[in-house]
Amino acid sequence: MESEHVFKKILYPTDGSDPGLLAQELAILLAKKLESEVTVFHVVTHELMQPHAKAFLFEGRTVSESPDAEPGAQVEGEMSFDRETPTSAGAHSSERIEDELTSIYRQQGEDIVADSMLTFKEEGVHADQKVVQRKSVAEAVMEEAERGKYDLIVIGRNAQKEKEAHLGSVAYKVSRQSDIPVLVAGEKAAEKITKILVPVDGSESSENALRYAAALCNKLNAALTLLHVQESHLFSLRPHVSTAIGKGILADAAEKLKGTNLEQKLESGDPAKKISEIAGKENFDLIVMGSDGVSNHVLHYTMHSVLIVK
């Protein structure tokens, strides 16, 4: 991969949350360094877009009172989902509730995007904007990524309502199912990327991650560390065999990165935990790895930014 061609088009989904703002800082940093195009993307969604909520309101269940009903009265309603033939005042009331919520959420989303666009402008980064209405945020993000032929998705770890420090459902689904690389922002502001950790295991996705990491190092002038973790059961049974395999994997990876400033590490233990532990102890700015079961666990364990490559 030629370094000048890495991540030329970035999709940045945002909900205005703190994790989303950390992702924004990463998107800005990369856009400046890589001269990337960025699209600020927001998905308008709320509970009444979900089928079970519609069933509760529209399929003959009790709904909020209609403005035309007697005070305190409850009305029953039924309507088709295409909204062409509402059959009662209750259905009309339910439809109004959904439309009002959508309007409120859309305005909030447009405000979030406007704030983000202002930040990109202040940072000297050109960005486009897009607001869509969908019941599934993850699906909307992946569809936009495919439709717009983006090279990278930069996303926060969790959403506005998910206050605890954990991997949110949207970030998890997108990182697992996206056909393009996904960068999940860590819990610290991205002032710079000077140290990149690349776990390698010899797999195809690991080699793809290595190519992206090398390109980023060249563009960001960052130091790269190759890491192979020997799994505990093989190491305990056949330590010499395990070590020989690990050294071979590291040597093969290093051979492909001639001319790159790099270090090699061979460790043993649980791969996901060891990767997260080393990233924390040695203050790496970014982990770049292939999309496998280990990467899923790393996303849950670490608070560092992680780039997942298919």
The answer to whether the Cα torsion of 16, 19, 22, 26 is positive or negative is: negative
Q: pLDDT tens digits, residue range 176-221?
A: 999 999 999 998 888 899 999 999 999 999 999 999 999 999 999 9
Give the helix ranges, DSSP H, for the chain: 18-34, 51-58, 89-122, 137-147, 169-177, 204-220, 232-237, 239-255, 271-281, 293-301
Q: Which domains does the chain have, with CATH numbers?
A: 7-189 (3.40.50.620), 195-309 (3.40.50.620)
CB 77 within 8 A of CB 91: yes
Query: Residue 63's pLDDT band (boundaries 50, 70, 90)?
Result: very low
Strand partners, 158: none
The predicted pLDDT at position 233 comes to: 74
The predicted pLDDT at position 23 comes to: 97
Cβ-Cβ contacts under 8 Å for 99 (sequence gap 6 or more):
none
The predicted pLDDT at position 52 comes to: 55
The predicted pLDDT at position 276 comes to: 95
Say what percent of the chain tops pLDDT 70.
79
Cα gap 216→307, rounded to integer Å? 11
Whole-Å CA distances, 172 to 166, 176, 230, 261: 10, 6, 26, 32
Least confident span in 47-56, 81-90, 153-162: 81-90
Tell me what the mean pLDDT of segment 53-63 comes to.
52
Q: Which two tokens stand for residue 221?
A: 């002038």
Query: Does residue 52 or residue 260 have the better pLDDT?
Result: 260
Query: Residue 80's pLDDT band (boundaries 50, 70, 90)?
Result: very low
Query: Does residue 5 or residue 29 have the better pLDDT?
Result: 29
The predicted pLDDT at position 81 comes to: 38
The predicted pLDDT at position 71 comes to: 40
Query: Residue 42's pLDDT band (boundaries 50, 70, 90)?
Result: very high
The predicted pLDDT at position 166 comes to: 64
Say what percent of the chain tops pLDDT 90.
65
Q: To the nearest whole number, what is the mean pLDDT of the chain?
A: 84
The answer to whether the Cα torsion of 175, 54, 14, 282 is positive or negative is: negative
Cβ-Cβ contacts under 8 Å for 299 (sequence gap 6 or more):
167, 171, 172, 175, 184, 306, 308
The predicted pLDDT at position 59 comes to: 54
